[in-house]
Amino acid sequence: MFDPSSPLFPPIAPSRHGMLAVDDLHTIYWEEVGNPDGIPVVFLHGGPGAGLSPAHRRFFDPEQYRVILFDQRGAGKSTPLGECRNNTTQLLVEDIERLRALFEIEQWLVFGGSWGSTLALAYGQAHPERCLGFVLRGIFLCTQTEIDWFLDGARWFHPEVHAEFVAPIPEAERGDLLQAYVRRIMSDDPAVHWPAVRAWSRFEGRRVFLLPQAEDPPSDALDLGVGRLESHYMANLGFFGDDQLIRDIGRIAHLPAVIVQGRYDVICPPVSAWRLQQAWPGSVMHVIPDAGHGAMESGIAAALVAATERFKRSRTFA
C-alpha cells in the first residue's frame, strides 16, 4: 500500500522487462519504467551483487523520466547467479553501453548508490559523452583503505557484529579476513560456501541503517550474490588502478552531479564523499545528519528524490 508520508513516488510496475545475453556465460535482467519519451536515466544497484528492488523504481517521477534498471552480472534475476567468471567493472561498463544501445538512448542521467556510485563513476569516466549528469549516494571509491575499513573498521562501532563475522575463521587466518572468506565463499562445496556467503551478507546487512531495523527473511539469492561478488570485487580492488576514480575525475568534471551521504554511514564513511566532492568542485554534496548507509532511510530517500526533481526542471543540481 502506498505510504503518503514516504518521500518516494508510488509503486509502479515495469512497462517492459526482459533478458539480454551479454556473452556466452552471462544474461542480464532489465526493466523499463515510466514515460518512454521522458528524460532517460539508468539505475545502478549496489553490492555488487545486491540486485534490484521494486522500491528502486520510485526515486523518479514516472511522468517525466524513462528509467532503465538492470541486475548486474551475477545478481538478482540475472544468470548465472553469483557467477564471478567474466565479471569485472570494465565488463559491467560494457553492459551499460549495450543497454543504452538496445533502448536507442543517446544520453542519460546516471543514478547509483554505494557500489552503484562506484560503477556510475567508472561508466561516466569511460563514456562521458553519454552522460547528462550523476546522482550518487553513499560513495565508495573501492580503494584499499575503504575495503580495510569495511572488514575491520566495523569492530569500532559494531564490535559484536564484527566478532560474529570473525568467529568462523581460525585464528591463524584472521590476519587476512578477506582472503579467508574468499577461499570459503568460492569453494565448490555447498557445505563450505553457504555458511560463508550468509555470514558475509549478514555482516554487511546489520550495519546498513543508523537505527536498528527488523531483519529481512533470509534470501539465498541475495546472500550468494552479495557474498560472492562483493568479496570478488574487493579482492581485485574493483579492477581499478590506484585511486583511479579520483585521478580520472577530470573526464566528467564538466557534468552536473549531486552527492548524497549519510553522516553516520559506517559502510561507506563520509570521507570518500568528501574526497570526491573536493576533486569535483562543480558537484553539490548533501550530508544527511540523521542517516547511515541505507537508500531508504527517510532523509537519504528525500534527498535523492529532491535531486531527480531538481534535474527534471533545470538539468542541474545547484
The span from the CA of 115 to the CA of 12, in Å, is 24
Q: Do both 20 and 84 map to the same domain?
A: yes
Known catalytic residue at 188 = no
Q: Do both 82 and 218 map to the same domain?
A: no
Would you say residue 4 lies in a domain? no
Query: Per residue in 84-98, pLDDT tens?
Result: 999 999 999 999 999
Classify strands 16-21 and 27-34 as parallel, antiparallel or unpaired.
antiparallel
Please give the grid coordinates belonging to residue 306. 529532491
| Strand (E) or helix (H) holding 314 | helix 298-314
Please give the grid coordinates belonging to residue 101. 544501445
Residue 1 has pLDDT above 70, yes or no: no
* Mean pLDDT score across all residues of the chain: 96
Terminal C-alpha separation, the chain: 34
The one catalytic residue among 56, 71, 114, 232? 114
Would you say residue 6 lies in a domain? no
Please give the grid coordinates belonging to residue 175. 590476519
DSSP string covering 135-204 = EEES-----HHHHHIIIIIHHHH-HHHHHHHHTTS-GGGGGGHHHHHHHHHT-S-HHHHHHHHHHHHHHH
Q: Do both 172 and 48 map to the same domain?
A: no
Q: Do both 256 and 130 map to the same domain?
A: yes
Would you say residue 30 lies in a domain? yes
**53-57: long-range contacts, CB 8 A cutoff, minimum separation 24:** 54/11, 55/8, 55/296, 57/11, 57/12, 57/14, 57/31, 57/33
Q: Do both 59 and 86 map to the same domain?
A: yes
DSSP string covering 189-213 = -HHHHHHHHHHHHHHHHTTSSSS--
Q: Do both 56 and 126 map to the same domain?
A: yes
Known catalytic residue at 24 = no
- Please state the domain count of the chain: 2
The one catalytic residue among 26, 56, 286, 293? 293
Task: Compute the residue count for the chain.
Answer: 318
Q: Do both 195 and 151 map to the same domain?
A: yes
Q: Residue 245: which domain range?
A: 16-141+239-314
Q: Do both 257 and 162 map to the same domain?
A: no
Cα-based angle 148, 153, 158 (whole degrees, multiple of 5) = 145
The one catalytic residue among 265, 272, 283, 286? 265
How many CB atoms are closer than 10 A to CB 241?
Answer: 10
Q: Do both 208 and 253 map to the same domain?
A: no
Residue 254 has pLDDT above 80, yes or no: yes
Last residue of some domain: 238, 267, 289? 238
Residue 257 has pLDDT above 80, yes or no: yes
Q: Do both 213 and 254 map to the same domain?
A: no
Residue 314 has pLDDT above 60, yes or no: yes
Would you say residue 168 lies in a domain? yes
The span from the CA of 57 to the CA of 206, in Å, is 24
Please give the grid coordinates belonging to residue 12. 509502479
Name residues whose C-beta falls within 8 Å of residue 176's C-beta, 6 or more positions apart in sequence.
none
Last residue of some domain: 222, 238, 254? 238
Query: What strand order describes the sheet that includes 27-34?
Result: 16-21, 27-34, 65-70, 39-44, 108-113, 131-137, 257-262, 284-288
Last residue of some domain: 203, 222, 238? 238
Would you say residue 11 lies in a domain? no
Cross-strand bridge partners of residue 109: 41, 133
CB-CB contact of 241 with 267 (8 Å)? no
> For residue 226, which phi and psi values (nearest 5 degrees)?
-70, -50
Known catalytic residue at 193 = no
Query: Per residue in 234-250, pLDDT tens?
Result: 999 999 999 999 999 99
Would you say residue 2 lies in a domain? no
Would you say residue 79 lies in a domain? yes
CATH code of residue 288:
3.40.50.1820
Query: Per residue in 204-226, pLDDT tens?
Result: 999 999 998 877 777 999 999 99
pTM over 0.85: yes
28 class by beta-carbon count within 10 Å (0-12 exposed, 13-18 middle, 19+ buried): buried
Would you say residue 7 lies in a domain? no
Query: Per residue in 35-84, pLDDT tens?
Result: 999 999 999 999 999 999 999 999 999 999 999 999 999 999 999 999 99
Q: What's the pLDDT at 218?
A: 78
Q: What's the pLDDT at 2?
A: 40
Q: What's the pLDDT at 4?
A: 56
Q: Do both 269 and 129 map to the same domain?
A: yes
Q: Do both 48 and 137 map to the same domain?
A: yes
